[in-house]
Amino acid sequence: MFSILLRTCLNVTTDASGTMIDETRYHESLPGIRQCADEADRIVIIAHLGRPKQPEDRYSFALLAKRLEHDLGRPIQFVRTMEILAQTQGQAGIFFLENVRFFPGEEHNNADERKAFAHLLAAGCDKFVNDAFADYRLSASTYDVATILPSHLGPLFQKEVAALDQVKQSPQHPCVIVL
């Protein structure tokens, strides 16, 4: 069984109940999710939403998982804890982990703690696909996982790099870039 850990950018704007208000990043992420789901027997989707200090419904991916299941037309298992994720190892399907920022290891100041969390995320996966160009922080689900698994860029990340490369290759003057 071939398994992919996919880090995607689903940091969408939501209202107080967790319903998407701006779906731009969601729709941009769908091609990468579909591609990985078609390529692998098992896909574990990880992403963050907001900057919560503690788990709260507004920043949960529970509603988004239901929407993704509908849009993909395939069952998705929403996974709230790392223990449950570990129990699913060896199972085929699409698994959507709760907001990685709910887990203390994601952005821990201690590199060893981050790396330990990254190992939990990577467990049982054969490949890491980073499709989260906008998520540049030094975190377990972007940087540390890429040091553990063979890593590749997803289609959205490649599109962003190509756009920057285009500006680099043939900028029109005057040129201003806002990132």
pLDDT tens digits, residue range 71-97?
999 999 999 999 999 999 999 999 999
pLDDT digits (tens, 9 = 90+) for 1-11: 999 999 999 98
| Mode of pairing for the β-strands spanning 76-79 and 151-153 | unpaired
**For 160-170, what is the mean pLDDT?**
69
**pLDDT tens digits for 39-73?**
999 999 999 999 898 898 889 999 999 999 999 99
Residue of higher predicted confidence among 153 and 144? 144
Q: How far apart are CA 162 and CA 131, in angstroms?
A: 14
- Res. 19 pLDDT band, cuts 50 70 90: confident
For domain 3-169, the CATH class is alpha beta
Asked if pLDDT for residue 165 goes beyond 80, the answer is no
Residue 105: what pLDDT? Answer: 94
Claim: this prediction has a pTM higher than 0.85: yes
Classify strands 127-131 and 42-46 as parallel, antiparallel or unpaired. unpaired
Contact 37, 72 (CB under 8 A): yes
Residue 101 has pLDDT above 70, yes or no: yes
Distance CA 141, CA 115 (A): 9
Q: What is the Cα–Cα distance from 39 to 90, expressed in whole angstroms?
A: 16
Angle in degrees, CA 29, 107, 142, rounded to 5: 40
Are 131 and 154 in contact, with CB atoms under 8 Å apart?
yes
Contact residues for 41 (Cβ-Cβ < 8 A; gap 6+): 1, 2, 3, 92
